[in-house]
Every structure is written in structure tokens, then in C-alpha cells.
Amino acid sequence: DTEVTQTPKHLVMGMTNKKSLKCEQHMGHRAMYWYKQKAKKPPELMFVYSYEKLSINESVPSRFSPECPNSSLLNLHLHALQPEDSALYLCASSPRTLAGTGVSVGELFFGEGSRLTVL
């Protein structure tokens, strides 16, 4: 079982709704990520939080709003989405240290994802 927990597993929303995806990890990891994955495609990076601060935003539309309330939680707030935003949204976490400490930067631990359908 994954140690990154995502809720809800499935979400159906209309284009005018406001909803949130939630992610939680208790591995003490200090970097957390949101990825979007369309069918038969690789995950695409959306946001990276490092030590609870947003460090990477891959030019994601403002209808997606991330939030990192503390080191264990990551939220993705959704508002006025489009049908093409329907996808599997994956949360991941990784150990985070300064360069040169020997910690692998690519060790991402993924949750099982939230399947989003926008009608």
C-alpha cells in the first residue's frame, strides 16, 4: 500500500463547481508534488512544494490552485474547470535535502491518484 494517501479517489464535477483534492503523507518528506496524467500518457508535472513553499509552477492555469497547509498535507483547489481537465491527478512526495547530501532527487512516492471527471 502506498504511504501517500489521496482523497477522493473519484470526483465528478460541473464546470461551475468548486472542489478540492487532498493528499497526505507521513514519511517526513519535505517535497510534495501534483502531477496530471491523461490516459496512455506519462505524468505531467504541475506544482512542486519544497519545505511548504511553492518552488515550481509549470505554467498551470489559475483554475488550479495548490495549497500546502503543513509538511504532511497538500491540497489542490479546483474552480471553473473545463472538460479537458478530466484526468488522473497524482500526488507525490520525496525526501528533500540540499544538493550534495546524497539523497536521490528522483525518488518520488506516488499516491493512487484522484480520478477527476469534468462535465
| Nearest CB to another protein, comparing residues 15 and 105 | 105
Binder of another protein out of 18, 26, 38, 41 (CB under 8 A): 41
Residue 29 CB coordination number (10 Å): 20
Backbone angles phi, psi at 85, to 5 degrees: -80, -5
Q: Using the rule CB under 8 A, is 59 a contact of another protein?
A: no
For another protein, what does the binding mask look like between residues 83 and 112, x meaning CB under 8 A? Answer: -------x-x-x-x--x----xxxxxxxxx
Distances (CA, A) of 39 to 43, 49, 82, 86, 115: 10, 25, 17, 10, 11
Q: Residues interacting with another protein, by CB under 8 A?
A: 2, 4, 31, 40-43, 45, 48, 50, 55-56, 90, 92, 94, 96, 99, 104-113
